[in-house]
Structure 1
Amino acid sequence: DGAVKLYKTSPEGKEVTVRLIHRGEIFGEVVLFEDMHYPVNAAALQSSRILKISRAALLSILEEEGFRNDFIAALMRKQRYLTERILHLSAFDVEERFFSFLSDQYGQRDSYHITLSKQDIAAAIGTLPETFSRMISRLKKRGIIEWKGKELRIRQELS
């Protein structure tokens, strides 16, 4: 298990979550192929185990066709994810981004056990915590969701 948040901080101090990493996913590979520092910060959101692989070791195991194909597939999934994220941030409102986030992170269902903080969810969907809280209040008032502690239940479909 585990979850790691990749984020950048703007010059004004605003934290922007770039991606949430879960078990079995790779991150940080860019520094193995470019002579630069990792362009984002990483913070464990839950107890996590992270494997660090040296550039030499990665280049060696990339010689194996099966691993190389899996690695390239992982990079393509990441590219697709980032392309979709740009679309979501530019074309969808906060509610749409929230429900899309739930589906992406936990799958399509009627109830969720939320392990992330509301602040982390707000950052992940590209909004301020205050805006997120107001949106959650509106959804509760409209009877669309019920959120108690870590348990979130979708009571009805969005119209």
Structure 2
Amino acid sequence: MLISEEVLIAYGAETEIFKSGEIIFSEGDIPKYYYQVVDGRIKLNTYNEEGKELIFAILERGLSVCELLLFIDRNYPVNAITFEKCTVLKLSKISFEKMLDENTQISRDINKFLSERLYYKYIMLENNSSLKPAVRVKGALDYYKSFTDDQTKFSYQIPLTRQQIASLTALRVETVVRTVKMLEREGVVKIINRKIYV
């Protein structure tokens, strides 16, 4: 949990419930709220000129949604769309700034979180520039495992379908399927009931 729900509510956060496939905000919208996932999953995506979906992140319980845009005057470069029914806490930008001003530890936690995400985004960018599908896929899997405290081998179930991994890595789904099987043979991942563990 990035910021405790109690603190967010104390500063005026409201609970919103979204259906599966609902848009929280769209590319080009002006950031007005801090969003934090209480339940469910949200994807940050765009579509290229051919209409192919590119997924930048999949956010789960406790994570914030594009909070970095609250610190600069820029419109959203992505869409935020729910994967399933989601509960989200929504705090106005003005209240978010007040909360940070009055809580130095929360401000430091946000800075640490942003720094970690930026670090892993650099890693993802480097991996996605590789011509080797295994490097791209492993990079995406490692990125998602980086959100969890338990880093022991095969302790984390990747919350992505093969199609979603393809959208994250700009690979074809067939290539992802072959690559995941290869990574399993090499002992990099474990597959249990079609779920990928790293």
CA contact (8 A) 2:154 2:197 kept: yes
Task: Report the count of equivalent residues.
Answer: 152
Question: Which residue in the other structure is 2:58 paired with?
Answer: 20
Question: Which residue in the other structure is 1:131 paired with?
Answer: 175
Deviates more, 1:96-105 or 1:70-79: 96-105
Q: Which amino acid aligns with 1:97?
A: R
Aligned partner of 2:82 among 37, 44, 52: 44
Question: Which residue in the other structure is 1:84 paired with?
Answer: 123
TM-score by length of 2: 0.63
- Structure 2 CA distance for partners of 1:56 and 1:122, relative to 1, 3 Å: same
CA contact (8 A) 1:115 1:150 kept: no
CA contact (8 A) 2:137 2:169 kept: yes
Question: Which residue in the other structure is 1:8 paired with?
Answer: 46
- Structure 2 CA distance for partners of 1:108 and 1:122, relative to 1, 3 Å: farther
CA distance in 2, matches of 1:121, 1:83: 17
Q: Which amino acid aligns with 2:179?
A: M
**Is the aligned partner of 1:151 residue 2:195?**
yes
The percentage of counterpart residues that share the same residue type is: 26
CA distance in 1, matches of 2:154, 2:51: 36
TM-score by length of 1: 0.75
CA contact (8 A) 1:89 1:125 kept: yes
Structure 1 position 14, deviation (Å) = 1.6
CA distance in 1, matches of 2:77, 2:41: 19
- Structure 2 CA distance for partners of 1:115 and 1:76, relative to 1, 3 Å: closer
Structure 1 alignment gaps of length 5 or more: 155-159
CA contact (8 A) 2:123 2:139 kept: no
Aligned partner of 1:117 among 155, 161, 186: 161
CA contact (8 A) 1:30 1:38 kept: no
More helix by share: 1
CA contact (8 A) 1:20 1:124 kept: no
Residues 33-62 of structure 1 deviation map (CA, whole Å, 9 limit, x = unaligned) = 344431101222344332222111111011
Structure 2 alignment gaps of length 5 or more: 1-38, 146-150
**Is the aligned partner of 1:101 residue 2:140?**
yes
Q: CA RMSD in A?
A: 2.9
